[in-house]
Structure formats: C-alpha cells, structure tokens
A and B are shown apart, each in its own frame.
Chain A
Amino acid sequence: MTKYRSGYIQTHCIDIFFDYHGTPMHILTNGNAIPDTLNNKELNRRIQSEVTIKTNWNDQSEYGVIVNESYVEYVKESIVEKDYTPSRNTILRLFVPMAKLGFYSYVCINTNEHISHYMLVARPSEQIVKPILRERLPIFDAISNIIMQDGIITEFQT
C-alpha cells in the first residue's frame, strides 16, 4: 500500500472517499492531514478516476443537491478583500458534482497539529441518490465531535 507523502499532503487538496456507517462521504483535505486509515494512494486514485469519469463537469446546476448555505457564507465572510469574493458557482464547483453522485461532500476548514475540522458543503437530496462505488469505498468511522442538523452530519473532526 502506497501512502501520500507528508509534503504532498500539506501542499495539495486531496479528494478522499469513504463510507461512514453506510453514508458515502467525500472530503477535500485542503492541505490538511489525512487520517492514517484513509491514507491509501492507490485505492484513492482508483476511486478518484472512477468518480471523475462518472461526473458531468459541465452541469453546474444544483438540481438534486442541497447546499449548506452556512459554508458559502463562511467563505464569503472570511475574505477580507471583497473585490476578490468568488461567485457561488466557483465556491461550489468541486462539491456539487460529488453530491450529484450521491456523496456527502465536506471540506476541511480548520486544523491544528492533529485535528482536522470538516464542514458539510453539499449533499444529495432525497429524490436523487445515486450512491456509486459504495461497495468499494474504504470504511472509516473514526470521526468525532460530530455536529448534526436534522439527522445530517454538518461538521465533524478527524
């Protein structure tokens, strides 16, 4: 099993996919640590490849997707120079396609030496759930400090 090197992890946003108690999850590390159990480069790249092939990147609509508006606000509020505030489409472009494939899509928003804090960005709505690759996703349940709203995990830590 090949692992990502620490220098690579710190300088890249890596798409990681896993199954948490039956929920297909996607996280973007944003340069933060990957839990050791999920640090499997070969498996992850196989999943990334399959996901990318199945994604329609030209479809920017949010049909079938529920966006966490708190995250959009969080990004916009964290920008000091308002001239450079990205559009809603830009903020969501890497997450909405994942939600359309059935993944609950999270991004790392805060970190310290050992703990990464993730926030929900987009998830599939009830009527469109196309869970792909579920049987091939690594199972991972070592998340903590879970915050839930209406039965949905909106924030967690690894």
Chain B
Amino acid sequence: MTRNRPYTKQQLDRIGLAYIGSLINNVRRCRIGQHGNAWDYPAVAVACSSNKTPFYMRKGHSCESLRNPHPTLFASYPSTKKGTTPKRYTREGHCAEPHAAHKLLNAMTKSNKTILVSDILFGKAFRVIDCSPVAYCSTCRKTFPQLK
C-alpha cells in the first residue's frame, strides 16, 4: 500500500486493531480446514509505516524468530550490537515489531529505497485476545530507538 503522505500513529493503531480481526478469522478458517496454517492466535499484533516516501505500511504479529531478517533490522538487534543474547522470552524476532519492520524494510528495498530502523513509525502493539494495548518489550526498545 503506498500513499503520498505519511501515516499517523492513530491511523496505524486503527490498522493494527483491524488486523487483529483478520488474524482471528484466519485462525477460525484454518481450524475448519478452509484456509492456511494459522492454527493459533498470535499473542500481539502491530502496524508500522515508513516516515519516508513511498510511505509504505506493513502489519506484523508475534511468531517464532525470523530466519533471515532484513540486514538493516539484523544490524540493529541488541545482540548484534553488543554481542549479548536477550532473555529467552524477549528473544529478537519473536515480537510483532521486528516482523512488521522486516516486511516494511523488504518492501522498501524492492522499491530501491533505503531507510533506517529509526525511520519506521510504529502504532501501538495490541494483544490479540482482547485488543488491549501492550507495552513494547525491552528488546524492541533497544532494537528500535524510537520506541523508548
């Protein structure tokens, strides 16, 4: 999705909440054998967009670690920067934020645009089961300095 002006945080929040509805429907369709392999609800979902043209927006949800994170994202991981491994429950790539950022960075790369992780605007992260906002985890705040 491309547009001529950047998304606002409120717009990203609304997109994130709408995304949760589609995630829940995907799980139901999967369980009755209609579609896909999304058997369980992801814990958290978030939407993000680029602050620079072409103002792409992407959505992401928590899932198992990214196998091949975008190089820009990988370079900003705390363990890449400091040589330490985060605690098990906040391991890099588990959260919704890096998944959304990974998709966005890939889309930008395909458009021959380069952005930094600090150029990514995130909406609120929402818990999928009840749509309540959740705080960004410590690993995400280290990976994306704008979340501090």
Contacts and interface: CB of A to CB of B under 8 A. Distances in A.
Q: How large is the interface on A (under 10, 10 to 19, 20 to 34, 35 or more residues)?
A: 20 to 34
A85 B124 CA distance: 13
B77 to A, nearest CB: 16
Interface string A83-96: 01110001101100
Contacts, number: 83
B31 A75 contact: no
B64 A75 contact: no
A48 B40 CA distance: 9
Contacts of A94: 24, 41, 129
B94 A7 contact: yes
Nearest to A6: B88
Looking at B63, B88, B94, B129, the one whose CB has the most chain A CB atoms below 10 A away is B129
Given A12-B63, A52-B32, A57-B28, A45 B39 contact: yes
Nearest to B61: A11
A11 B130 contact: no
B147 interface: no
A91 B89 CA distance: 25
Looking at B89, B128, B130, the one whose CB has the most chain A CB atoms below 10 A away is B130
In the A-B complex, list the 4 residue pairs whose CB atoms are closest, starting with the nearest: A52-B31, A7-B64, A31-B43, A11-B62
Given A7-B64, A11-B64, A93-B24, 16 more contacts: A6-B88, A8-B64, A11-B62, A12-B62, A13-B41, A30-B127, A31-B43, A49-B31, A49-B32, A79-B132, A81-B124, A81-B133, A84-B133, A91-B130, A94-B24, A94-B41
